[in-house]
Amino acid sequence: MRRTEAGLIATHDGKFLVRTDDRPPDQPLRPNRILTLYSPKFEPLKEFPLPSSAPGEYEMWQVYATATRRSIVVEHGVGRGNEVVLLDPARGIDVRWLDPDTLEPKANWAWAGPETPGPGETGLDFSDAGVAATLRRRANLFTGAPGSCEVAVRRIDGPWRSVFRSDGFNCMNAEFVDEDIVVFSHGGEIHLLGIDGRVLLDQRFGKDEFTHEVRPSANGRRFAIAIVTSKGGNALLDIGQHEVFKRIMVFDIPANSWVYTLDSKAAESKYVSDFALSPDGLRLAVMRHGFVDLYELPE
């Protein structure tokens, strides 16, 4: 898992982070929320206390391992409200980059909320050196303005750069697959973009196909993406369609080409619960029906 709101997250070299929320009864002065780094032998190595909110406030935070696993990112914000939790515009979101071996801070970045870089629903992703924001704007029935998706990127200490914009509200968040490359899917299209604005890939898949999950290799060389289609459904009976797995494709960034395809026939299943690339990008693990299959990929 690259990110989590609870539980654990893998870093690199077999190390992993565990989040604990309960203060031990015999340690009343200990912070309430802590990230603990463990060795592959389950030995505690380092602790990092998470920020705590004031009474009446609602904390929103996530922990990320960047795609390369060279940084841990702690995203922390404070909300307000009861059933509907709103980001407090006066406090925004604080983002910290941590060293995965020492949990020492490497960089900080403050985000003031949806007005930066633009209004709408925003999804964020982080690399070791940058930030990607996916901005979704719903259609406005009063003004007639159509919905849209926009991807903006920036280096931690640099300005925002808009690298992609399209019509339609439904799109997946842009994700980093390397330190300065993001992948972004919109319906049946996939786009590979450099943080400097370079377009590395711009491709549309087949009719009624759309992209789903993206899984990068930790060395930044490759990423795998799932292609699915919708089947069934009955509007008269108010029965929705369901997704059917079609294939997983692996893209090699230095070669700028697809190097492997696993279709549903070869996988002997139309359902895949998850998949991942090995750190070197040379093996593909696919989980289906409670079992994990491992596939060797070409170099």
Query: Are 133 and 184 members of one domain?
Result: yes
Q: Are residues 99 and 5 in the same domain?
A: yes
Contact 249, 260 (CB under 8 A): yes
Higher per-residue confidence, 81 vs 144 = 144
Looking at the fold, whether 97 and 141 belong to one and the same domain comes out as no
Do 152 and 138 share a structural domain?
yes
Q: What is the CATH number of the domain that holds 151?
A: 2.40.10
**Whether residue 288 is found in the same domain as residue 211:** yes
pLDDT at residue 139 greater than cutoff 90 = no
User: Region 182-194: what's the mean pLDDT?
Assistant: 84
- Are both 6 and 94 inside the same structural domain? yes
Cα–Cα distances (Å) from 117 to 121, 132, 197, in that order, read: 11, 10, 16
CB atoms within 10 A of CB 123: 15
Q: Are residues 127 and 97 in the same domain?
A: no
Averaged pLDDT, 41-46:
92
Evaluate whether 46 touches 40 at the Cβ level (below 8 Å): no
Pick from 57, 81, 112: which residue ends a domain? 112
Say whether both 134 and 75 belong to one domain. Answer: no
Of 20, 24, 67, 71, the C-alpha closest to 48 is 20
Distance, in Å, from the CA atom of 221 to the CA atom of 281, rounded to the nearest integer, reads 7
Which residues, listed in sequence order, are joined to residue 285 by a DSSP beta bridge? 276, 294
100-114, 173-187, 252-266: lowest mean pLDDT where? 100-114
pLDDT at residue 151 is higher than 60: yes
Q: Is the pLDDT of residue 259 over 90?
A: yes
Name which of 225, 275, 270, 211 is nearest 246 in CA terms.
270
Within 10 angstroms of residue 66's Cβ, the number of other Cβ atoms is 26
pLDDT (0 to 100) of residue 236 = 55
Co-location of 99 and 118 in the same domain: no
Please say if the pLDDT value at position 173 is more than 60. Answer: yes
Instruction: For residues 256 and 160, give the distance between their C-alpha atoms in angstroms, rounded to a whole number.
Output: 26
Domain that holds residue 13: 1-112
Q: Phi and psi dihedrals of 250, rounded to 5?
A: -115, 125
Is residue 288 domain-shared with residue 218, that is, in the same domain? yes
Counting the structural domains of the chain, the total is: 3
Look at residues 204, 225, 246 and tell me which one is the last residue of a structural domain: 204
pLDDT, residue 95, reads 86
In 3D space, the residue among 112, 111, 194 whose CA is nearest the CA of residue 156 turns out to be 111
Q: Do 88 and 4 have their domain in common?
A: yes
Over residues 214-235, the pLDDT tens digits come to 899 989 899 999 888 866 555 5
The reply to whether 223 and 242 lie within a common domain is yes
| Domain's final residue, options 204, 234, 249 | 204
